[in-house]
Amino acid sequence: MRSIIILIALLLAMASGTALGLPLQGSNENATVVIFGSSRMPVADENSTQEILKVDVGLMGADNSSYELLDQNDLAYYPGLYRPLSSGKQTVYFLTEIDSLFKLINVTPEGSDPINVKWWITPNASNDRIKVRYYGITDSSVNSDEQMLVLQVSVQNMANQSIYVTPYNFTLFDQWGWNYRPTMGFDAENVAPGSGTDRLLLGFTALPPVFRPAALAYDYGTPEAMVIEFEKDYVPLSDELVYGAASASNSVADNASAQAKMAAPAPVAQIANQTAASTEM
């Protein structure tokens, strides 16, 4: 019986992982850091302009580290909570502005030099009419019977005619290639030529406990279908996107954190209370 319980726990841990494929990695002469994935979740206050970003981190060569996360506007965020995991891993919680795009995480292992790790690019897929962007998981819950995911996307109309966008344009695939349709989401809308939607939410409920998202398709089953494959399309940002011009010197990278504007530290109690509530879902 005990072995069955352990197996279920392991499967749930696998299922609750994020949809990122390629881990991010950086090192110096003493330590190595690996960013395995991240996901977001809302705070308890529905009127808040902030959300919680959970980052799955592995650290080798050091017992502890400090973290600084930079967004696209060079605003710096610092952890409000750490949750130790086994084998040198931990979950690091940041309180960030809603819908922020990140470009760099600075990791400073205890007694060592900083390690700058470029963040993931925002995956997208397009044809001659439409571009779809995927912004990640914004909410999730899992128990021994099922799990729920909320994904965030946007659609840009590059054609010369309006397009009609509904949640049912999207199909989610698991690690075995099985497909799932949204069970909740945004209101359908007409998108004019040359314009795009705001960020849209797609909800998927009653997913299997061991479900892991592997790909998201738009207009699946049609000749113009587009697919974002998370393992292939989640790659690090380029130096040019992170540091500016392609000719940016290494000194710019080294000083990126020092020049960043500072966000207010996240209240530990707020994140702790929110993560506890999330665990109980």
DSSP assignments along 197-249, one per residue: ---EEEEEEEE-TT--EEEEEESTTSTT-EEEEHHHH--BPPHHHHHSSTT--
Interval 33-62 mean pLDDT: 93
Q: So what's the architecture of 124-233 in CATH?
A: Sandwich (2.60)
Segment 256-272, tens digit of pLDDT: 444 444 455 555 444 44
Segment 236-248, tens digit of pLDDT: 999 999 998 643 4
Give residues with Cβ within 8 angstroms of 197, minimum separation 6: 154, 155, 156, 165, 189, 191
User: In angstroms, rounded to a whole number, what is the distance separating the alpha carbons of residues 174 and 274?
Assistant: 28
CATH of domain 22-115+251-279: 2.60.40
**Alpha helix ranges (H) inside 86-215:** none
Q: In this structure, what token pair is assigned to residue 219?
A: 């207009």
Interval 178-205 mean pLDDT: 97
Could you tell me the residue ranges of all domains in the chain?
A: 22-115+251-279, 124-233
Q: What is the pLDDT of residue 25?
A: 95
Interval 85-107 mean pLDDT: 93
Q: What is the pLDDT of residue 267?
A: 53
The model carries a pTM of: 0.79
- For residues 277 and 204, the model is more confident at 204
Q: Do domains 22-115+251-279 and 124-233 have the same CATH topology?
A: yes
